[in-house]
Amino acid sequence: MRFEDMISGLPTDRPLALLLRHAERASIDTIEDSYRALLTPAGMTAARLLGGRLAHLRPIRLAHSPVGRCRQTAACLAEGIQAAGGEATLLGERTELGGPYMLDFRAAMAAVLDEGGGRFVRAWFDGRPPADGLVRPFREAARGQLEALLASLREPGARGVWLGISHDWNLLLLREGYLGLRHEAAGWPDYLEGLAAWLDDGRLVLCRGERLVRLALPLS
């Protein structure tokens, strides 16, 4: 599901936290590419266009993964927001938007390149990763991503939109962990796909299009 198709349905009367995959990148064929792959020209254009669609919401604060393509996406989104007359503030990198669930990044990426991302993720989420010590347990990793969204909503003086630019696995953790969406049925997260979260009546709402859950606080 494209994130831009969700925009019109988001609430406008309270702070929002959005988690977005970066824009289109160059291909990843080696472990080093997973660090170094940057946005394509089409990806930069798409991020600027999406920024223009977001500009009307409210002031937007953008954080991003330490990886370069996420930094580029945040910058292009901010350009699009500002060009459309909106207000955008770049907050810089946040480690929780990268891969805090990765215990041995190189070994995990080697396994992904060997067997494919879909098979690796399924084994991980089902509690049987290809080797011990590569990634944190699925539920623990998903909880960490949800806590990052909740923390952004609880920042002192939080208002408008907090937008975190992240990666496909971060979205997969939340989609399956809390929305019950397996990638085999829902599809792999597309570039610039996203989720939204907000607080309502003492609960944390997590939303992807028409799929919505209301989670009791404190998180269990």
Residue 69 has a pLDDT of 95
Q: Is 91 helix (H, G, I), strand (E, B) or coil?
A: strand
CB 192 within 8 A of CB 23: yes
Among 184, 182, 191, smallest CA distance to 138 is for 182
CA 155 – CA 139 distance, rounded (Å): 24
The token pair that represents 142 in the structure block: 């998903």
> If you count them, how many residues does the chain have?
220
Residues of the chain above pLDDT 70, percent: 100
Domains assigned to the chain? 3-101+136-216 (3.40.50.1240)
Residue 1 has a pLDDT of 63
Q: What is the pTM of this model?
A: 0.94
CA angle centred on 162, ends 160 and 166, rounded to 5°:
160
Phi-psi region of 140 (alpha: psi -120 to 50; beta: other; left: phi over 0): alpha
Q: Mean pLDDT across the stretch 85-98? A: 95
CA angle centred on 54, ends 6 and 205, rounded to 5°:
45
